[in-house]
Structure 1
Amino acid sequence: MSLRVLVVDDQGVVRAGFAAVIDAEEDMTVVGEAGDGAGAVRLAAELTPDVVVMDVRMPDLDGIAATRIITGRENAPRVLVLTTFDLDAYVFDALRAGASGLLFKDVRSTELLCGIRVVAAGDSVLTPSATRRLIGHYASGAGPGFRAGSGPREPDSLTGRERYVLTLVASGLDDAEIAGQLGTTVGTVTSHVNALLRTLGLRDRVQATILAYDLGLARPNLPGTHI
């Protein structure tokens, strides 16, 4: 089954270029295009895409606001934000709004396609500079946290093992690496992680990582820490 992708950008040429690259893949289909945030919100509801490739700066309703509306719905698609601006505000606002990933617009087509597949699978993808900024802010005690009313459930009911899995997720390990740490199978780890996200009311590993930092389960100076 093809991944259903909605492409959102206020520049027609850029939008058409992304759509052409995505539509050329055998496992992807562009189901719609929008030139602004309002159009993105409407088409996301009408077309039920798996992934929305979202521009940040657009007239009227920008990509951050549109992402917040789209991801706040039941059975929401994953949102991969694209931006030309390497600014803290865009990184943190995109994550708080519910984006599963953030890449720069000048990303290579192979990286864009990989990013779409990654977020569609329930994982997350960030540019290296965005990851450094996120970790740097936690190191200074100014992490982004969650917006009031859109945050995760309290983790009080988590077992010690579940908290450990959350810590491993936040350290950037994939399921195979976590399986090695726990001495179990990849399938078991995948089930554990998915159950953990459901229990905490989290969308993906980006939010799980932010929560782990908020709880003090992850530290910015952990060697190799990434999302």
Structure 2
Amino acid sequence: MLAEDIAKRLQETFASNEKVREGLTDAEALTLLDWGIAYATALAARLAANPPTAQMTEEQIGEVGYTLTRLMTRMNWLVTYRTRKDAAWLVQTFQQVNKLSQELLGEQAPVISSEQIQGWLDYEIQRTNDALIQNLTAQLSPPEIAPPASPEGGQPAAGHPVVGSAQPAQPPQSGQPASGHPVVGAPQPAQPEPSAPPSLPGRSPSATEAPADEPSKPPAKPLSNLTEKILSSLLPGRKPTETNEHAPDTGEDHDQQE
């Protein structure tokens, strides 16, 4: 299958899922969706260039799209629920983001380090939604779409600071929690064993399967006017009445919904 066909399928999967943009303004949602389109294009090029995955079935591509949708949804949750959930919930969600990133791109995938998570808990949480989305997308971008590094310290340029990089003060040296947040610690917390990345044909569906506490995917719903507007602006040439029969609904993990 051609890379552009794989990319289109991945893009339509997450763009037609309202959980990806729930709680965000149109401008904030478009920032995340625009990154997702670039991510899907880069991922599709990788899959198409690898002979085994170039022969992926529609169902396998749909599973990859579902994993990308779950990744983007949890990036949204880190932004929109940051002041409504406790530190333990945020750390767990960051760990899920890292796991999903590795499912998509393999063990060398970009992840959020424990130090950056601590910086998010202590300082970054006060930033605007748009700034936080830019932080997350910069940190989780594959090399093909990563923002260029500036000469100073290798930080991403063009308004994409690394998550947790701008800290006005250092955490306490005593090892005590700062501002009521548990210290994540220098060594990264034990991560779940990464599932096989989608570069392996015929992989077990459990590699991208939702956790037991996450509802299964319901039948696709008609796209809303906002979704149609977003899809039309980001995916030129798409038929307005088209729906994605495999579009997943990621549901809510660990009591996300108030």
Q: Which has the larger radius of gyration?
A: 2
Whichever structure has more strand as a proportion of its residues is 1
TM-score (norm 1): 0.29
**Higher relative contact order, structure no. (Cα contacts within 8 Å, ≥ 6 residues apart):** 2
TM-score normalised by length of structure 2: 0.27
